[in-house]
C-alpha cells in the first residue's frame, strides 16, 4: 500500500483509535457488520484525510499569495502619486488611465496626472 491516507486510516483501525464520529456512521451504515464498516471507514477516512491535506495546501498557497499581494501593495503605496485632472482621484504618477473615471493620460493630452495633487485632494 503506497497511499499515505489509506495507511493512516488503516493504522487508526488497527490501533483501535478510529475517528469516533466517522466510525459510528460507518457502523450504522453497515447495519452493524464490522467488516463492511471497516471497508467503508477506510474509504471515507482516506478521502477525509486527503481532503484535509488538500485544504491545508490550498490555505498555504492562499497565505503565500496574500503575502505577495501585501508586499505588492506596500510597494504601490510607496510610489509617487498625483491627482487625475478630470476627477481628482488619487492615481500613480505613471498611470496611463484613471481607475475612477477611465480617462487616458497622454503626453500633451487634455487630461494629465497632476503631481502632488492627490495628497491635497484626498485630505479634504
Query: Is residue 124 pLDDT above 70, yes or no?
Result: no
Q: What is the pLDDT of residues 15-41, one digit of tens each?
A: 999 999 999 999 999 999 999 999 999
Query: Is residue 73 pLDDT above 80, yes or no?
Result: yes
What pTM does this model have?
0.56
Query: Is residue 89 pLDDT above 60, yes or no?
Result: yes
Q: Domain residue spans in the chain?
A: 4-77, 80-123
Q: What is the DSSP string of 15-80?
A: TT---HHHHHHHHHHTTT-HHHHHHHHHHHHHHHHHHHHHHHHHHHHHHHHHHHHHHHHHHHHHS-
Amino acid at each position: 500500500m503506497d497511499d499515505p491516507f489509506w495507511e493512516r486510516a488503516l493504522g487508526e483501525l488497527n490501533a483501535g483509535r478510529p475517528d469516533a464520529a466517522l466510525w459510528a456512521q460507518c457502523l450504522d451504515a453497515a447495519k452493524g457488520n464490522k467488516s463492511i464498516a471497516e471497508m467503508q471507514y477506510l474509504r471515507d477516512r482516506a478521502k477525509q484525510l486527503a481532503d484535509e491535506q488538500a485544504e491545508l495546501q490550498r490555505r498555504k498557497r492562499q497565505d503565500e499569495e496574500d503575502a505577495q499581494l501585501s508586499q505588492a501593495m506596500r510597494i504601490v503605496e510607496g510610489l509617487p502619486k498625483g491627482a487625475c485632472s478630470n476627477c481628482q482621484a488619487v492615481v500613480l504618477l505613471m498611470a496611463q488611465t484613471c481607475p475612477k473615471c477611465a480617462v487616458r493620460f497622454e503626453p500633451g493630452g487634455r487630461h494629465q496626472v497632476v503631481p502632488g495633487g492627490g495628497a491635497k485632494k484626498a485630505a479634504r
